[in-house]
Amino acid sequence: MNQEVIFETQGITKYFGGLAAVDNVDMKIHKGEILGLIGPNGAGKTTFVNTITGMLRPTRGRVIFKGQDITGWPAYRVGRLGIARTFQIVKPFLGMTVRENVAVGAMFGHKGKTRTTRQALEKADEVLEFVEMGHLRNHFADQLTLAYLKRLELAKALAMEPELLFLDEVMAGLNSREIEEAMEMIRKINASGVTLLIIEHVMKAIAGVTHRVFVLNFGTELAQGSPEEVLNDPRVIQAYLGEKFVERQRRMQQASPQQ
């Protein structure tokens, strides 16, 4: 794995009143990797991402992107710099076509300042072909299934041309086939040169696409390491995965054909 650090947090903390939703988190993301972020509901995962992408201002700590301190920068400046994200709850512009939705991302991303409307629409077409939604470009967003709404959210972020992409539960609510397709799309995005951090509860995806996994619990780091190390860590099992997960994994391994 590339050891170049593209993104780093140093002691990131976010208080809401007297409650520390995120408490003194140090994280490094290496260029070209897929880092998984997992933890129980309420562990602080989305708050952490909101804080480091400009949606919220940290109470204390530093955010470093490619050696530059971007702590407290507003979201639009973070996006211009080459960082994009999706949201756990999809937020399409329902009165606009799929193509127009994605063009909005192109207007506000890394090269958004210099793009004309025509160029943004051309970029939208390019991205829609990449995510295999070109045939839906003229559909309105409210005509899409959940799986395609999730993919539209992804396309909007990709149109910003990020170097670093944060994905917040892009597989929530999808069936098994759709999860497999989403996993393949994440691999495809990563292979194109984009570094990713994915928040996900679907452990099949965490085990199947990530290079490393970082675990939050009660707003603090609980563990980090390879997917195998983390998913077999007794602390992670106790705090998050549960013994049923371990037993299910054991049965799946026993049922797999022996090499």
Would you tell me how many other CB atoms lie within 10 Å of the CB of residue 196? Answer: 22
Residue 242 confidence (pLDDT): 80
Q: What percent of the chain is helix, strand and coil (3-state, nearest 5)?
A: 45, 25, 30
CA distance 251 to 139: 44
Residue 91 confidence (pLDDT): 82
Retrieve residue 70's tokens.
Answer: 């971007």
Residue 249 confidence (pLDDT): 62
Residue 259 confidence (pLDDT): 45
Residue 16 confidence (pLDDT): 94
pLDDT averaged over 10-residue windows placed end to end, the chain, 259 residues: 89 94 97 96 92 95 97 93 89 90 88 82 96 96 92 94 94 91 95 96 92 96 95 90 68 59
Residue 141 confidence (pLDDT): 92
CATH of domain 5-82+162-254: 3.40.50.300
**Please, which residues bridge with residue 197 across strands?**
35, 166
Q: From 101, 109, 168, select the one nearest 128 (Cα to Cα).
A: 101
Residue 172 confidence (pLDDT): 87
What pTM, to 2 d.p., does this model score? 0.89
Please work out, in degrees rounded to the nearest 5, the angle formed at the alpha carbon of residue 202 by the alpha carbons of 90 and 224.
110
Residue 255 confidence (pLDDT): 66
- Which sequence spans correspond to the domains of the chain? 5-82+162-254, 90-160
